[in-house]
Amino acid sequence: MGKASVILYITVGILVLFLVSYSPKKKSHHDHNGGHNSQHHRLKLRSSFNFKPTRHDPIPFDPLVADMERRREDKEWERQYIEHSHPELASPAPGQESQPEWEEFMDAEDYLNDEEKFNVTDRLISLFPKIDVSPLDGYVTESELTEWNVQSSAKEVMHRSQRDMDVHDRNKDGFISFSEYEPPSWARDSGNYSFGYDIGWWKEEHFNASDANGDGLLNLTEFNDFLHPADTKNPKLLLWLCKEEVRERDSDKDGKIGFDEFFHGLFDAVRSYEEDNLNATHPYHDLPEGPAKQLFAQLDKDGDGYLSDVELLPVISKIHPTEHYYAKEQADYIISKADSDKDGRLTLAEMIEHPYVFYSAIFDEDDTDDDYGLHDEFR
């Protein structure tokens, strides 16, 4: 970063701090969302975690908060792993309690809510120039915030993959063989109703598709792709994902997808993805068959009236959205809540004016409450 940029951010930071310090009245954390009460809402860390590979919880905005949550998640993961894999070690010795862990968890929350130790305004001033990079112009755009979220998400995902790999790499050679790997308990116990876990997710075909270099072993990158195939660049694994879709949707078991099978399920997923990206308002499930037939014809390259696994490749990223999709969704939400002048981008002043959008907002696509600022807990 050049001298001019440093001077710019220092000047802006000093100006913002001056305005905040000398404001005649401290603004309510929720005044921008309809004048809700101004009492302080305690920042919280997540207290429950989803350990399945397909996890799309909101990405913590602040890397410091993300690190705290990772440490808490690691402890909970270790507890669940011992309970399922080594139940003989799960019961604490007489007089031994798990209270110290909980106290440490509360200490972390106390830290986050101590303005002397964790000042939200200072954190936003510190993080702003790390997000505003392309271009460096004093504004955070949707694409810059999306990229920030993508990088944060990638770190979270790789951390979990490394944790799983450490468990399954029995000979500690840094690789996973098929014989070393076994499905986690939640996969074994999921029954025959959830996509992926009963239709080959943990079988050798999936393993071999993840083995990009064909050496019979999965390194960390390949193992990460094995757990998160939607984000892979490996063409073998993307094709495997298409094959799994055919197996899942092929109700008459002819090995192909007919139009009815495509229209009732796959088309809904594709249309939903496209409408989310185009911010369309009409409900995709009420559309006539015309658009579905048009898309089906475009995908049916050999014109035989069916879709093969290869023919699904152009839309597989819409059926199984990547982390970039969720990162953009979260960026859109944040900007919609913090962009006071509605110019589609954020200034540092706007971010400081709406701190709880970044530090305590729940993003939940199923939430019907439009005022996300009412929530104050990371999930």
Report pLDDT digits (tens) over 233-243: 999 999 999 99
Highest mean pLDDT among 8-17, 287-296, 335-344: 335-344
* End-to-end C-alpha distance for the chain, whole angstroms: 34
How many CA atoms within 13 Å lie on the side-chain side of 379?
Answer: 12
Q: Among 45-59, 169-183, 313-327, 357-371, name the one with the lowest average pLDDT.
A: 357-371
The mean per-residue pLDDT over the stretch 279-288 comes to 50
Q: How far apart are CA 22 and CA 123, in angstroms?
A: 19
Q: CB neighbours (10 Å) of residue 70?
A: 17
Per the structure block, which two tokens stand in for 86?
């080594």
pLDDT in tens, 161-201: 998 899 889 999 999 999 888 765 555 555 544 444 444 55
CATH 1.10.238.10 fits 234-271+289-321, yes or no: yes
The mean per-residue pLDDT over the stretch 266-280 comes to 79
Q: How far apart are CA 292 and CA 44, in angstroms?
A: 44
Distance from chain centroid for Cα 44 = 19
Does 156 have pLDDT greater than 80? Answer: yes
pTM reported for the whole predicted model: 0.74
Q: Can you give the pLDDT at residue 237?
A: 96
pLDDT in tens, 42-82: 777 666 656 565 556 778 899 998 888 888 888 877 777 77
The mean per-residue pLDDT over the stretch 217-243 comes to 95
99 φ, ψ to 5°?
-55, -40
Q: How far apart are CA 233 and CA 277, in angstroms?
A: 22
Q: Among 42-56, 63-77, 258-272, 349-363, name the one with the lowest average pLDDT.
A: 42-56
Note whether 184 and 160 are within 8 A (CB).
Answer: no
Extents of the domains making up the chain: 48-79+118-168+322-362, 234-271+289-321
Q: Can you give the pLDDT at residue 322?
A: 92
